[in-house]
Structure 1
Amino acid sequence: MATLARKQKFPFPDLSDWFEAFPARFTMPAMADLHTMRIEEYTEEGRYIVCAELPGIDVKDLDLTVDDGVLTIKAERTEREVDKHRSEFRYGSLTRSLALPKSADENDVRAEYADGMLTVSVGLGEQKPEPKHIEITRTT
């Protein structure tokens, strides 16, 4: 069976990727970390795993919710009240929401936090069936 190659309409396919990362290229890493939460996702032994880098966060300042197929991680880095000579740390709220796989079991979620790394594990059940297309008949 022959495969058809899709003709690229945009002459510079990598340009959109470059613009998407544009702000991060010209900011200090600490500033970029203020507004983003870096994650890693993978599947292992029948579980969906999400790891989030959250250095300097106390576990009491973490909030994890699962609702309607969406995992939301919220964190707050609070500023210490000390007389500082200089500070390059960033403080404030971080939030990241991720769509769970279709087969995720929202009642089987575990989370651990150690050494600045939050690891969330969600059990995977059977794959839910794909949506069924229904034929529509025309009436006069």
Structure 2
Amino acid sequence: MSMISRREKGSDVSPFGRMDRLFDEWFRALPMRRPFGPDWPGEELIRIDEYREGDTQVIKAELPGIDPARDVEITATDGMLRIKAERRIEQDREDKGYTRHEIRYGSMTRTLPLPENVSESDITASYANGILEIRVPMPPEPEVKKPTTIPVSSS
């Protein structure tokens, strides 16, 4: 005789999946955020999509709830692109009597390598609907020169 067990909708199938989910929830509740240094991929890391569109490298960064003119800084130097953003705390936050407060505030950063020979002055950025889009024009492919054959003379 087989036993049929009832699973709740959206629950993990394996006991390891449930354990992973419980560990993730426990870890997020800890007061420390970066136990392994500033570049540890925790929640302060800006999530991105990066892809090629023709001759342009496109980087889309998820940054909802920020003012791009005031809270975003993008720099390109030494072949690296750095995105720094800050989500500011609401002033009337203490008066609301929260039941749950999960929205993260504070600084976020992401540093990405740029392709070789990119003109840093040609990089553009725009912000719409919580998505920061950075467009990096790719340099033309270097022309591959055919080797020159040098004749050898005999004396």
Secondary structure of the equivalent of 2:61?
A: strand
Return 5+ residue gaps in structure 2 as ranges.
1-19, 30-40, 144-155
Superposition CA RMSD, Å: 2.6
Secondary structure of the equivalent of 1:56?
A: coil
Counterpart AA for 1:27 = E
Return 5+ residue gaps in structure 1 as ranges.
1-21, 130-140
Segments of 4+ moved more than 3 angstroms: 30-34
Deviations 1:108-140, CA, capped at 9 Å, x for gaps: 1110001100000011112469xxxxxxxxxxx
Residue 87 (structure 2) pairs with residue 107 (structure 1) = no
Structure 1 counterpart of 2:51:
42
Distance in 2 (CA, whole Å) between partners of 1:126 and 1:78 is: 40
Structure 1 counterpart of 2:89:
79
Report sequence identity in percent.
40
Q: What is the TM-score when the length of structure 1 is the normalising length?
A: 0.66
Counterpart AA for 2:63 = L
Q: How many residues are treated as equivalent by the alignment? A: 106
Structure 2 counterpart of 1:68:
78
Counterpart AA for 1:89 = I
Secondary structure of the equivalent of 1:27?
A: helix
Secondary structure of the equivalent of 2:104?
A: coil
Q: What is the TM-score when the length of structure 2 is the normalising length?
A: 0.60
- Counterpart among 63, 70, 77 of residue 54 in structure 1: 63
Counterpart AA for 2:47 = R
Secondary structure of the equivalent of 1:107?
A: helix
Residue 88 (structure 2) pairs with residue 90 (structure 1) = no
Distance in 2 (CA, whole Å) between partners of 1:58 and 1:89 is: 16
Superposition deviation, residue 104 in structure 1: 2.1
Secondary structure of the equivalent of 2:120?
A: strand
Structure 2 counterpart of 1:120:
134
Structure 1 or 2: more strand by fraction: 1
Structure of larger gyration radius: 2
Deviations 1:50-101, CA, capped at 9 Å, x for gaps: 0000011111100010001100000001101111221221110001000011
Counterpart AA for 2:60 = C
